[in-house]
């Protein structure tokens, strides 16, 4: 056992950093990043953060837009809470040093994105997430109560199971006492006991071959909580961003922000035809699920590898000023977006489901909180409204910190937490198998559990994933712990949950579109670790 802390925060994006900063005045915080502090999903967020700021906007409009995008599965109470608390959290981000773009008169330069009825997106050029990450990382590094562990991989959360106590499968009082971390540089596993643990590990983009997410997005938090018998919700709702740059071989796929369509860019087929009005009256500004399916259909019907995003008719200087990173990126591969169309293709982008949490960010496991993309709060429903994710992360981190600070002093840290079992051997052929299984898992998810699904495809995916799961668990049982092996295991767990949830959702709704159930039947679904021979 290496150390004890009051608050253990796993993940260093917006959710993790903001929780750490709000908890730090009250106790000792350990902030864990599996690579570097700034290597997060937050850093890659281009478009911005949604909040009602302008006098012409209203909470009711933002709530309505969110509910419409969520396709009937949002929790309206949660939506109203997040929308109502958003402006105050924007003020907090600014106090922490985040600089949002403003107009000449000092007002916020608000953008509009697909599904929004008003201009309400605060942004910093086309790298808003990078700016937020910069500001909060600087604050965390300077805070005397925050210790930062970079290059430490969270292997599993610590519960009663690790203490040798008999705990029933559905024990209502399962508690989290911290986590086991793999010190990558030191090649050793340590236990970090904590009164409170915050899971903020981001999404699952690397379940798929094509994703806008960085390589770190491997569903770690979801898999850890699932293995600890926590409740996971709505994993079938994977949001594919409609417009990632089509540039084969590059990973992650470069995101072409939805804000460009809000700026006036339109989608066209390879023959130049504008096609979105065939699918939705909002055209290129329809919600992401509709746009992604439309592009997918156009590509299949026409036999094309991509479509185009056309911004050539927009004011050129304003285009370059608003989207300097997109402009430079495209120019680096020979595309001048002021004169030429941008080739785009949908890519896995955001996980709308995840660890079930209440309005205080509390998971089904006592003393374990979660915030950000790794959670299912009820805000997004069946489909996330653009730029609602960053505001969700900071609102829930604030609520979780408030709740955790109020209770953490009453939590006891057990003194008999055992060391991690380090038995195992590593062989060169094992790394080859890990790499092969990882790629095969991505192919399975991409081919069978993508934008359009069917019962047959989902069964094929489950059957094939079962084989990889069995091989990986056998390897895990005998191998020395490594990040690649743990990530493979986590993505397989997450992939299983996506497939299982998709099979249970016998309707087409939001991001889950299946050719076998065209009619909608609303229902609540949870995967609660029910016994199953196929359970991963």
Catalytic residue numbers read 288
For 417-461, strand residue ranges (E) read: 452-453
Half-sphere exposure (Cβ direction) of 31: Cα atoms closer than 13 Å = 29
Residues 469 and 227: their CA atoms lie apart, in Å, by 14
Helical residues (DSSP H) of 35-119, grouped into ranges: 59-69, 76-95
Q: Are strands 238-245 and 342-351 parallel, antiparallel or unpaired?
A: antiparallel
Q: Which segments of 359-403 are extended strands (E)?
A: 368-370, 375-376
Question: Residue 399, class by beta-carbon neighbours within 10 Å (0-12 exposed, 13-18 middle, 19+ buried)?
Answer: buried
Looking at the DSSP bridge assignments, the partners of residue 26 are none
Task: Tell me if 125 sits within 8 A of 324, measured CB to CB.
Answer: yes
Cα separation, 511 vs 343, in Å, equals 23
- Residues in contact with 510: Cβ distance below 8 Å, sequence separation at least 6, in sequence order: 70, 71, 73, 237, 289, 352, 381, 382, 383
Residue 308 sits at φ, ψ, to 5 deg, of -115, 150
Q: What's the residue count for the chain?
A: 536
Report the candidate in 255, 153, 248 with the shortest Cα–Cα distance to residue 213: 255
Angle at 268 between CA 265 and CA 270, to 5 degrees: 140
**Coil vs helix vs strand at 367:** coil
Nearest to 512 by CA among 433, 431, 457: 457
CA distance 355 to 120: 28
Q: Is the dihedral of CA 287, 293, 296, 299 positive or negative?
A: negative
Instruction: Judge residue 24's burial from the number of C-beta atoms within 10 Å of its C-beta, 0-12 exposed, 13-18 middle, 19 or more buried.
Output: buried
Whether the bond between 422 and the residue before it is cis, its omega within 30 degrees of 0, is no
What's the start-to-end Cα distance of the chain, in Å? Answer: 29
Distance CA 288, CA 291 (A): 5
Residues 420, 428: Cα–Cα separation, whole Å: 23
Contact by Cβ (8 Å): 376, 353: yes
Question: Which ranges constitute the DSSP H helices of 99-251?
Answer: 128-142, 220-227
| CA angle centred on 34, ends 408 and 379, rounded to 5° | 60
């Amino acid at each position: 056992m290496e150390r004890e802390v009051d608050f253990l925060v796993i993940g260093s994006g917006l959710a993790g950093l903001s929780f750490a900063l709000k908890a730090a005045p009250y106790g000792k915080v350990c902030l864990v990043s599996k690579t570097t502090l700034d290597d997060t999903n937050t850093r890659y967020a281009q478009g911005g953060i949604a909040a009602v700021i302008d006098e012409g906007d209203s909470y009711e409009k933002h709530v309505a837009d969110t509910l419409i995008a969520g396709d009937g599965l949002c929790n309206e109470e949660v939506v109203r809470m997040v929308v109502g608390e958003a402006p105050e959290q924007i003020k907090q981000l600014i106090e922490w040093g985040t600089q949002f773009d403003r107009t000449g008169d000092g007002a916020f330069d608000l953008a509009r994105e697909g599904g929004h009825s008003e201009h309400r997106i605060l942004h910093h050029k086309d790298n808003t997430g990078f700016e937020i990450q910069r500001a909060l990382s600087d604050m965390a590094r300077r805070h005397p109560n925050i210790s930062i562990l970079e290059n430490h991989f969270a292997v599993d959360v610590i519960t009663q199971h690790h203490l040798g106590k008999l705990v029933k499968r559905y024990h209502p009082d399962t508690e989290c006492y911290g986590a086991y971390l793999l010190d990558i540089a030191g090649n050793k596993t340590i236990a970090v006991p904590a009164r409170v643990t915050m899971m903020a590990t981001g999404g699952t983009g690397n379940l798929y071959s094509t994703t806008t997410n960085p390589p770190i997005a491997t569903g770690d938090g979801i898999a850890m909580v699932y293995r600890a018998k926590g409740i996971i919700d709505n994993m079938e709702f994977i949001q594919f961003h409609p417009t990632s740059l089509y540039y084969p071989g590059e990973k992650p796929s470069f995101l072409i922000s939805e804000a460009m369509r809000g700026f006036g860019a339109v989608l066209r087929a390879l023959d130049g035809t504008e096609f979105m009005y065939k699918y939705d009256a909002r055209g290129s500004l329809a919600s992401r699920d509709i746009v992604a399916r439309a592009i997918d259909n156009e590509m299949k019907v026409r036999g094309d590898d991509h479509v185009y995003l056309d911004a050539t008719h927009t004011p050129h200087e304003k285009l370059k000023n608003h989207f300097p990173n997109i402009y430079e990126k495209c120019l680096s591969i020979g595309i001048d977006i002021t004169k030429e169309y941008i080739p785009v293709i949908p890519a896995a982008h955001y996980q709308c489901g995840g660890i079930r949490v209440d309005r205080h960010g509390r998971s089904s496991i006592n003393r374990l909180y979660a915030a950000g993309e790794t959670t299912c709060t009820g805000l997004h429903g069946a489909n996330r409204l653009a730029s609602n994710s960053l505001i969700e992360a900071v609102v829930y981190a604030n609520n979780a910190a408030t709740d955790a600070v109020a209770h953490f002093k009453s939590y006891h840290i057990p003194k008999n937490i055992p060391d991690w079992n380090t038995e195992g051997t590593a062989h060169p052929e094992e790394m080859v198998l890990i790499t092969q299984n990882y790629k095969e898992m991505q192919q399975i998810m991409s081919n069978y559990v993508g934008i359009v699904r069917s019962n047959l495809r989902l069964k094929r995916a489950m059957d094939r994933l079962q084989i990889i799961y069995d091989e990986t668990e056998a390897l895990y049982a005998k191998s020395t712990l490594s990040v690649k092996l743990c990530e493979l295991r986590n993505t397989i767990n997450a992939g299983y949950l996506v497939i299982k949830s998709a099979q249970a959702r016998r309707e087409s709704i939001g991001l889950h579109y299946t050719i076998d159930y065209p009619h909608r039947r609303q229902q609540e679904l949870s995967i609660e670790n029910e016994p199953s021979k196929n359970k991963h």
